[in-house]
Amino acid sequence: MHKRPLEILIFGAGAVGSTFGWRLAQNPFVRLSAVCRSNYTSVKTNGIHLRTTLWGNGSFRPHRVVKAVSDVQNVAFDYVVCANKLTPSDAVSFAEAIRPAVRPTTTLVSVQNGINVERPLKHMFEGNTILSAICYASCQQPLPGQVQQLTQIRPFAFAIGTYHSGSTDTQSENNKLEKLVSLDSKFKAIKDVNTERWTKMMFNGSLNPVSALTGLNSHQLLQDSPSLTLAHRLAEEIYEVASRSGANLPADSVSRTISCLQSPAPIVPSMLQDARDGRQMEVEALCGNIWRQADAVGVSVPAVKATYDALTSMNQKIGIPRQYTFESDPHTPVADLSTDLASETSRRASKHLLYDVQPSITPVAA
């Protein structure tokens, strides 16, 4: 029996954060707070509405909806869930942003994409328990406060484990993990966070970037040979980095990754969602951290670095009108630009060359 409500804060109530929070809020002893940004007004007024294939449809209103962590700094949170996207401006600052909500007894949960994403939390909150959650459900927020989950690449939604940081009190950490996992039947406890992160990274570091470059969803990628070739090459390089980094991945991990494209419903990866909506893509978390880890363990990853360069160039243009074209042809649509960029990336990667051509881009006239 819980003597008091289990206080949980969701930092970043986007599609994934809203889905995770919704499942937690189904428990009557959980008191959920949410830090919202662009969807603050909608969530504050109308709550969050979800359509999902894993759990059915539903809606909920967080107990507290705030714009900043400082608005709830007096609450003794048991868990702080970081579900924010790791764009260049957020990669380090998010740990500082959640500081007002963190006490020595607070458990931190990273539900963020990428590898090594827990390090900022470990650096700032060395004495706290840190859990790492890997999302296998494809979630979208087409409108503020309106979330859809149409498909998933595993039978469960979130794999959650302890981010081992040298703590001697492993029983306490395991108890906190078990308590969180018990809150939903689609949460799964795992023992090897490193391997699980790299397993998801096989998908996120290959199919996600290629989808963003080409503008194609998972089913469309299957029909596009050059894009599929690039995705396969990226998965091969990531597999080598993962293996050298201590991950125990199956020998057929590359083929398993590509087979995810055959999901019943087409997957629109997060990078493609961001590119379509004119938002910064998580290039550092999903590409940059891979090649930095590759350098650390001595693995050559020319395709990863080429793709990173191409996506960084695209990211630099986000914030101005969403459609871009080559200066030499003012009528080229955005899809053609992405395809050309991906084709050049694929060609250079196949020859172990870095992408060193930065095409001049200007916005399409409104």
Which residue numbers are catalytic?
200
278: left (phi over 0), alpha (psi -120 to 50) or beta: left
From CA 121, how far away is CA 50, in angstroms rounded? 29
Q: How far is CA 41 from the centre of its chain?
A: 24
Residues 39/63, Cβ–Cβ less than 8 Å: no
Q: Are 134 and 200 in contact (CB under 8 A)?
A: yes
- Sorted by sequence, the CB contacts under 8 Å of residue 137 that are 6+ apart come out as 16, 19, 52, 54, 149, 151, 152, 157, 158
Phi, psi for 263 (deg, rounded to 5): -60, 150
| N residues, the chain | 366
Structure-block tokens of residue 185: 């039947």
